[in-house]
Structure 1
Amino acid sequence: MTPYIRQLNVGDAKDYRAIRLEALKAFPQAYGATYAQAVKQPIGAFTQTLEQAVLFGAFDGDELCGIVCFVACEGAQDNHIGHLYQMFVKPGLQGRGVGLALIKQLFEYARPIVRQVHLGVGTNNHSALALYKKAGFEIYGTEPRALCVKGTYIDEHLMVKFLDSKDN
């Protein structure tokens, strides 16, 4: 599948809310936020996220089928760093290049702004780890007990992609 990818805007708030809730419900161990928290938020909270962060959406026709979020650090000494958050592709489309296409779009956007992109991913999330490695991310550490989901601790690999290296 070759998805159509574009930056989401406030007009996409309803679709963004729907896919974000789907992600939180389907993979609670992958996110710091919870479905129970997010489902109670008004649409304005999702609109605000779209105003404050950069989100890209993958579309299959008119259907939003994947998302990824980019946030650049703004401090004087860390503004060379950006973060990838909220990565999600609907289960029926996983493994078909949608996730990699979203990440490549994020890199294209981020390259003039930051020199590296960071993310955290559950050590047991093998499909996401494989995707991130395919996109060029490297593990540089592991955060023990990064999340606690229903009493179970989840360690996260910390990963980085250097956008300014000669391999990019």
Structure 2
Amino acid sequence: MGSIRRLETRDAAAFRALRLDGLARHPEAFGASWESEAEQPLEWFGATLKTHAVFGAPDGDGLVGAAGLFMPDSPKLRNKGTLWGAYVRPDARGKEIGTALISAVIDQATSRVEDLNLSVGATNTRAIRRYEAAGFKPYGLEPHALKVGEQYYAEVLMILNLNQSG
């Protein structure tokens, strides 16, 4: 496995494969659905990589993990970013790839926003601990954050203040 790097449009096929794998395995962990994203053309994934900072963990021709940074266009919201889409394939877990991806997003966000937000499944204690170790603090719980079929899933809302004076 190579080091963590920012993904480019040439990585669209690998990103699409990883993203769809995550959406299929863990529909309760993402706001997006496999059904919606599987219909998107490869160019759509390439455009996502072009407009958002998405970091990946390469392995051969594919990816074993990725995480992205979303920054709003609205002037009133530009003070905060969102860590989104964090996923590591099951066979690559336990190798600190998730930690490295989180660090890459934090590094990218540090000079651009004051706060970095995320939401994580309330039952995903492993991910919550990883985010807390990176400095994120929980600030709320959204009980019906996602609905998959007839099942609701709660999410923990977390924040990392990147403004050293705040």
Q: TM-score, normalised by structure 2?
A: 0.93
CA apart distance, 1:76: 2.0
Are 1:118 and 2:117 counterparts? yes
CA apart distance, 1:165: 3.2
Are 1:13 and 2:19 counterparts? no
CA apart distance, 1:106: 0.9
Are 1:66 and 2:65 counterparts? yes
- Tell me the distance in 2 between the aligned counterparts of 1:18 and 1:134: 29
Q: CA RMSD in A?
A: 1.4
Output the amino acid matched with 1:147. Answer: L
- Tell me the distance in 1 between the aligned counterparts of 2:143 and 2:20: 26
For residue 91 of structure 1, what is the aligned residue in structure 2? 90
Are 1:154 and 2:153 counterparts? yes
For residue 162 of structure 2, what is the aligned residue in structure 1? 163
For residue 77 of structure 1, what is the aligned residue in structure 2? 76
Q: Deviations over 1:93-149 (max 9, x none)?
A: 112210000111111111110011000111111111111111111000111201001
Output the amino acid matched with 2:126. Answer: S
For residue 40 of structure 2, what is the aligned residue in structure 1? 41
Q: TM-score, normalised by structure 1?
A: 0.92
- Tell me the distance in 1 between the aligned counterparts of 2:77 and 2:33: 28
Output the amino acid matched with 1:105. Answer: A
Question: Contact 2:55–2:68 at 8 Å: present in 1 too?
Answer: yes
Q: How does 1:128-147 map to 2 (within 5 A)?
A: 128-147=127-146
Q: How many residues were matched structurally?
A: 165
Question: Contact 2:78–2:113 at 8 Å: present in 1 too?
Answer: yes
Output the amino acid matched with 1:75. Answer: S
Question: Contact 2:14–2:61 at 8 Å: present in 1 too?
Answer: no
- Tell me the distance in 1 between the aligned counterparts of 2:34 and 2:72: 26
Q: Deviations over 1:27-52 (max 9, x none)?
A: 11100111122111111111111121
* Percent identity of paired positions between Structure 1 and Structure 2: 36
For residue 30 of structure 2, what is the aligned residue in structure 1? 31
Question: Contact 2:80–2:115 at 8 Å: present in 1 too?
Answer: yes
